[in-house]
């Protein structure tokens, strides 16, 4: 199949998920076309089945802000038409699903039918979407999509509670590429960070208020009072300067490192002993899942979809939002018990394996086959024929996915 993927190409969870999905599809011999304003951060290599189409915003004195949505719609039309795409997969209801509908209507006037699948990631629902100003366009964008998925049961519930939508929403969790995220021997690297054998605590985020990075600092300070440890803060964002100032005021500042954006975050997770996620809003918790794939237990809040990822008392511990004392207590319980820490790390890996990219791709494809059989829009003769042939061949040829069928039905 020829698949168009529209996403934000940044370090955030949606961009990472969209990129990894595209790579996974390309590895299964599909032709994947990314349509966005810059090359996705994890697409830093050549793949014969992956194409990138840059959206250039027009700079014109009449406009105070460049009309990105118009440029994006034009690029979607161009790519679908001339690359002969079979489907568009857009990440975020606004603006991407909205723009996809505009592109779809333009193409329809030219006799071209293109199905659109929208994936909800959280910000479009939990932050932007609950602003009543955006409610009509969010509801419209969801309902006019041909297929809609959400990355967690929690996000699906929030969507149905906050918006008047009629479209069925399927839950397909975020996933991990185990070729990249796995435990590896990085002892030489760990000794550089923790030369005296200190415990390494890690946090990854976009440094926005909802991530509560200050809570991560508070939790670490409580940990560091009891056991020698280092805190590695990965990422960047609007609160970084303020957080750096807060860290400088701490007596243990020399044990805190701001590492900024990192392409090879898996190498840092490979040397970590514990991962912190104190977020107040989190639709899924992809960063926690990446840590778990590297056998790192997670200390987190119980916000949003995190409990679907971090299983309390098994892969780590959950606390109420803002309860830094409980988070620190749970962290110390693990860090002072090497056997328990090892056991939780092994459990974290097993939990992460449930969200391996191959398993999720299988679920997505199986659901897609059902959509193909049920949806009148997807039953356009040329689209249905292409999809039916693909799905039938997929199930016949891929024994690995047949194994998933027996365990996940």
pLDDT higher than 50, residue 383: no
Give residue 279's domain range: 187-353
The tens digit of pLDDT for each residue in 262-313 reads 888 899 999 999 999 999 988 888 899 999 999 999 999 999 889 989 999 9
Per-residue b or e along 230-266, where b marks 16 or more CB atoms closer than 10 Å to that residue's CB: bbbbbbbbebbeebeebbeebebeebbeeeeebeebb
Question: Considering the entire predicted model, what is its pTM?
Answer: 0.74
The 8-class DSSP code of residue 117 comes to E
Judgement on whether residues 8 and 99 belong to the same structural domain of the protein: yes
Could you give the percent of the chain with pLDDT greater than 70?
83
The tens digit of pLDDT for each residue in 344-380 reads 999 999 999 887 655 555 454 444 445 444 444 344 3
The strand pairing partners of 316, in sequence order, are: 298, 312
Q: In whole numbers, what is the pLDDT of the chain averaged over residues?
A: 83
Q: Using DSSP, state whether 58 is helix, strand or coil.
A: coil
- Nearest of 357, 352, 310, 309 to residue 334 by alpha carbon: 310
314 in a structural domain: yes
Q: What is the domain-level CATH number for residue 150?
A: 3.40.50.2000
Angle at 378 between CA 102 and CA 92, to 5 degrees: 45
Judgement on whether residues 107 and 227 belong to the same structural domain of the protein: no
Judgement on whether residues 120 and 217 belong to the same structural domain of the protein: no
What number of other Cβ atoms are within 10 A of residue 336's Cβ?
Answer: 13
For the ranges 30-34, 69-73, 334-338, 388-392, which has the lowest average pLDDT?
A: 388-392
The tens digit of pLDDT for each residue in 135-178 reads 888 899 999 999 899 988 989 998 998 889 999 998 888 777 78
The pLDDT score that the predictor gives to residue 406 is 35
**Residues contacting residue 41 through CB under 8 Å, at least 6 positions apart:** 9, 10, 11, 15, 16, 19, 263
122 in a structural domain: yes
Domain count within the chain: 2
């Amino acid at each position: 199949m020829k698949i168009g993927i529209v996403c934000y190409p940044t370090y955030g969870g949606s961009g990472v998920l969209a990129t990894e999905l595209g790579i996974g599809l390309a590895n299964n011999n599909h032709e994947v076309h990314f349509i966005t304003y810059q090359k996705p951060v994890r697409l830093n290599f050549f793949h014969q089945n992956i194409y990138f189409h840059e959206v250039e915003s027009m700079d014109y004195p009449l406009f105070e802000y460049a009309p990105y949505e118009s440029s994006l719609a034009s690029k979607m039309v161009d790519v679908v038409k001339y690359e002969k795409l079979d489907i568009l997969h857009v990440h975020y209801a606004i603006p991407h699903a909205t723009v996809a509908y505009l592109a779809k209507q333009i193409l329809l006037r030219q006799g071209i039918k293109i199905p659109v699948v929208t994936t909800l990631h959280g910000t479009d629902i939990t932050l932007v979407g609950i602003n009543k100003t955006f409610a009509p366009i969010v509801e419209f964008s969801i309902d006019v999509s041909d297929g809609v998925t959400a990355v967690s049961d929690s996000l699906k519930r929030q969507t149905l509670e906050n918006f008047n939508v009629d479209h069925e929403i399927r839950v397909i969790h975020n996933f991990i590429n185990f070729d990249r995220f796995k435990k590896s021997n990085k002892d030489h690297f760990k000794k550089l960070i923790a030369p005296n054998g200190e415990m390494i605590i890690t946090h990854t985020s976009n440094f926005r208020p909802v991530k509560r990075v200050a809570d991560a600092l508070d939790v670490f300070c409580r940990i560091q009072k009891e056991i020698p440890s280092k805190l590695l803060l990965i990422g960047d964002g609007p609160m970084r300067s303020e957080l750096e100032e807060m860290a400088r005021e701490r007596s243990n500042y020399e044990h805190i490192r701001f590492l900024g954006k990192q392409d090879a975050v898996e190498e840092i997770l490979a040397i970590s002993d514990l991962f912190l996620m104190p977020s107040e809003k989190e639709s899924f918790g992809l960063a926690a899942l990446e840590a778990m794939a590297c056998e790192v237990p997670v200390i987190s809040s119980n916000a949003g979809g995190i409990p679907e990822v971090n299983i309390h008392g098994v892969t780590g511990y959950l606390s109420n939002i803002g309860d830094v004392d409980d988070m620190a207590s749970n962290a110390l319980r693990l860090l002072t018990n090497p056997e328990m820490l090892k056991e939780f790390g092994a459990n974290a890996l097993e939990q992460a394996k449930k969200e391996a990219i191959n398993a999720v791709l299988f679920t997505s494809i199986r659901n897609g086959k059902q959509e193909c059989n049920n949806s009148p829009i997807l039953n356009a003769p040329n689209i249905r024929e292409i999809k039916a042939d693909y799905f039938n061949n997929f199930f016949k040829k891929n024994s690995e996915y047949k194994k998933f069928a027996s365990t996940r039905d």
